[in-house]
Every structure is written in C-alpha cells, then in structure tokens.
Amino acid sequence: MRRITRIATVGIASAALALSATACGGKQSSDTGSDSKKEAGAAIAYDIGGRGDQSFNDAAYAGLQKAESDLKIKGAEAEPTDGEGEADKVQRLTELARKGNNPVIGVGFAYAPAIKKVAPKFPDTTFGIIDDTSVTGPNIANLVFNEEQGSYLAGVAAAKVSKTGKVGFIGGVEVPLIKKFEAGFAQGVKDTNPNATVLTQYLTQPPNFDGFAKPDLGKAAAQGQLDQGADVIYAAAGLAGSGAIEAASTKGKWAIGVDSDQYNQAGLVKYKDHILTSVTKDVSDSVFDLIKSVKDGKPTTGEIRYGLDKDGVGLADSNPEYKKMTDVIAAVDKAKAEIIAKKITVKTAP
C-alpha cells in the first residue's frame, strides 16, 4: 500500500498546482498519462486526525486493507494537514484521481465541497464520500449512516449501568452530523430513565475542527463531566475521543466508544477494561463495497444508507463485562427491535 504522509501531502499540493497550471493551458484535468495508469488502484483521503485515530479513519483503512487482500488491488492513502482549507482537499483528490485511482473516497463530510469541484473533471472515476449527502452527481457515491440509531442504543446501555443517574456526551465539533449522535444518545437515556441527566459538551465550533483531532480536549471535557458526577461518558469526537476514554478509565468509570469497536483498538489497550461498548458504523464494509462495485464494473452511486436494519450501525459487545450484563443486553435488544419495526423513531437533532 502506498501511503501519502502528512509531509508528502505538501508535495502533492505543489504537484497539483502544477497540474492545474497545465490544465489552464488547454489540457483537460481528466486526462491521465501512462504512468498513472500503471499505479491505478483505490484511494482514500483521510479526515481530520488521520490514520491512527483508533476510530473513524481507522475504520475506513480497514475497508481498504480488506479490498487489497480480497480483491487484489493496490491501495493508496492521503493524510490531511493541520489547518488545511478546501483548496488542499481539492488538490489531494485531484492528484489521487490523476494517478488513475478508482474509486477515490473522501473520509468525512469535510470533503463535500472538494468532491463537488473535482468529480465533474473525472467523469470516469467514481468518488465516494462518507457522511454526506449534500453533494451529488452521476459518479458520486454518498456513504451515510443512521448514527442516531446506534447512539440510541448507547443511551439505553448508559442509563442502565449508571449508578449516579448522570451521564456525559462529548461532541468533537458542533456540526449537524455530531448532533445526530447527541440526539440519539440523549433520547435513549431519557426513554430508559426519565430522571437521568445528560451532560453535553462540544469541544470546538466550526471552522475550528480541532475537536476531532486533539485528545487533550476530550480528556479535559470528560474530567469536567466526571467531576460533576457522570459515571458514563460517550464521546463522538474522533481522535479526541481517546482522551475522554482515558479520563473515564483513570477514574474507574465507563466510557462508550464510537465508529470502531474501540475495545479492540490496540492504541487503547490500557483503557479497554473501562470501554463498556462502542457505537459502531460499518465504514469498513462501505469502503470495501464501493471498491468492489468499481472493480466489478458496476460502480455504485447515489445515496447508500446503513442503519440498524442492515447492521450498518450497532453496539459492540466485545467487553466480557458487558456480556455479563444480561439486563442491559435485553434492554438494548428490545430497543433495537423496536427501532427496526419503526415503533421507536429516533431523533436526528437534539
């Protein structure tokens, strides 16, 4: 697998600028040379935090790894840079597409404006975007999830295990996507225990997206909620969420992971005994399925939604202590069945 590091991304930007200049001279940006075709494969461009976040980006990477192994394709990765803007994302996606990669997948809603600009220039390349439906096109696949449904189940579990009646929600950045996590979690808590209190805090406000990237922010927020009596902390904050997990573990309280099954993440092994469960999103399979559709010659486009009904979201049960909580599991299973049967409608905004 070819991985473009944060340092190398600067080189990509320079190369892309040069390519743009060439295009202005009359060459179409969808043209590719013979060298790029030799390198053709599938590519993912990571969101804030990059690979190694033990969460969202790592889930996408797992899908690319599976495609490399099962489909025998070459995988390429591109990392974000600190404080980057839309132009950087445009350059990154352009370079990946010019090299002949197909599909090219933007990991996260932040890639929407860039994909809107780049996709029309490469009509024969499929572009995937995770967590966004705002940008559409004949060669764009929108890979989206019912995060609120998985978060509702987390709320049920949190309310059942809490001894203080106070639980915490930490959002990385206050954007509509993360408010879906908050809404589902709070509803699940309140439906299970109407007297419970949900403490909510967002780490940053857009356009500052550090709340997805800095563990110290998540750790400080969790410590504040623990000091207020919360004994379960659920963080939807990417890499920053690892700080919240650390804080909860240090205090001997429960943490709930997000996106990946964080109990099984190597980087969190010190804290795993206090990771009650995780709200999972099948980002891995969504990436793999899109790559496979392109390889099979039938590229998937349009909205592709993953919910509880297709096990696209869910609640992990890797922690042996969680598996012993039969009353909690029963409550979660009941809630899951009722959501699928449409007896419970989960809110998508607080």
How far, CA to CA in Å, does 41 sit from each of 70, 105, 292, 344? 13, 12, 11, 42
- Residue ranges covered by each domain of the chain: 41-145, 147-281+319-341
Reading across the β-sheet that carries 254-259, which strands appear in turn? 197-204, 166-173, 232-236, 254-259, 275-281, 313-315
What does the alpha-carbon distance between residue 340 and residue 141 come to, in Å, rounded to a whole number? Answer: 24
Residue 18: what residue type? Answer: A
Q: Where are the alpha helices (DSSP H) in the chain?
A: 6-24, 34-38, 56-71, 86-98, 112-118, 147-161, 176-192, 215-227, 241-250, 283-295, 320-323, 326-340
pTM for the model stands at 0.84
What is the predicted pLDDT for the residue at 40? Answer: 66
What number does CATH give the domain 41-145? 3.40.50.2300
What does the alpha-carbon distance between residue 155 and residue 190 come to, in Å, rounded to a whole number? Answer: 8
Q: CATH fold of 147-281+319-341, please?
A: Rossmann fold (3.40.50)
Distance between start and end Cα atoms, the chain: 41
What is the predicted pLDDT for the residue at 1? Answer: 56
Closest CA to 238 of 52, 25, 55, 29: 55
Reading the block at residue 277, the tokens are: 């469960």
DSSP 294-342: HHTT----EEEEE-GGGTSEEE---SHHHHT-HHHHHHHHHHHHHHHTT
Three-state DSSP class for residue 143: strand
Reading the block at residue 325, the tokens are: 């909580």
Reading the block at residue 161, the tokens are: 């295990």
Closest CA to 131 of 114, 111, 151, 155: 111
Residue 318: what residue type? Answer: S
Q: What is the pLDDT along the chain (350 residues), one digit of tens a residue?
A: 544 433 333 333 333 333 333 333 332 333 333 344 445 699 999 988 889 888 889 999 999 999 999 999 999 999 998 878 899 999 999 999 999 999 999 999 999 999 999 999 999 999 999 999 999 999 999 999 999 999 999 999 999 999 999 999 999 999 999 999 999 999 999 999 999 999 999 999 999 999 999 999 999 999 999 999 999 999 999 999 999 999 999 999 999 999 989 999 999 999 999 999 999 999 999 999 999 999 999 999 999 999 999 999 999 999 999 999 999 999 999 999 999 999 999 999 99
Q: Which helix (H) or strand (E) holds 254?
A: strand 254-259
Domains 41-145 and 147-281+319-341 share a fold: yes
Cis peptide before 207 (omega within 30 of 0): yes
What is the predicted pLDDT for the residue at 48? Answer: 85
Q: What are the φ and ψ backbone dihedral angles of 99, each rounded to 5 degrees?
A: -75, -5
DSSP 69: H
What is the predicted pLDDT for the residue at 181? Answer: 98
